[in-house]
Amino acid sequence: MLSFMAITNALADENRVRILLSLRGGELCVCQIIGLLGLAPSTISKHLFILKHARLIEDRKEGRWMYYRLAGEDAPIEAKEAIAWVCRSIEGNARILKDAERLKEVLDLHPKELCRLQSRKQEVLSVSRRRLQGLDE
């Protein structure tokens, strides 16, 4: 029952379903997933944790990079069936098709370059927030 509840919880969020479907083509690093969804790194991290807890995805570390992929052969049958069901059910959805196009753009950038751009964006946002709060004058 615990596995079932973890899977249903993981699939109850649109962004987690989008992440799951983006991994159909192979593994992605965290920076690529952030680039695709345009969400904060901490938000992406939480979504990935929930998907991993449900055993819908797996990860591996290579140097400083974390890569994620769909669950493999060792995954519970419930997880494999859930992934297949989501893929069949959402295929052709406009948002998912748009994500596929965006993912092509994201994959054109090397992960190091993508990470650098994201870090720079976070710095700009941080400075902007501090200015709005009157902390950086």
pLDDT reading at 127 higher than 50: no
What's the CA gap between 106 and 14, in Å, rounded? 20
Helix (H, G, I), strand (E, B) or coil at 70: strand
Say how many domains are in the chain.
Answer: 1
So what's the pLDDT on residue 10? Answer: 95
pLDDT digit string (tens) for 49-97?
Answer: 999 999 999 999 988 889 999 998 888 899 999 999 999 998 889 999 9
Please enumerate, as own/partner, the contacts of 42-45 that have beta carbons within 8 Å and a separation of 24 or more.
43/15, 44/19
- Domain residue limits at 41: 2-109
Q: How far apart are CA 31 and CA 35, in angstroms?
A: 6
Q: Check which CATH number belongs to the domain holding 75 and give it.
A: 1.10.10.10
Instruction: Provide the Cα torsion 3, 94, 97, 120; round to 10°.
Output: -90
The answer to the question of residue 134 being in a domain is no
Residue 47 lies in a domain: yes
Q: For the chain, what is the mean pLDDT? A: 85
- Is residue 49 situated within a structural domain? yes
Whether 130 is covered by a domain: the verdict is no
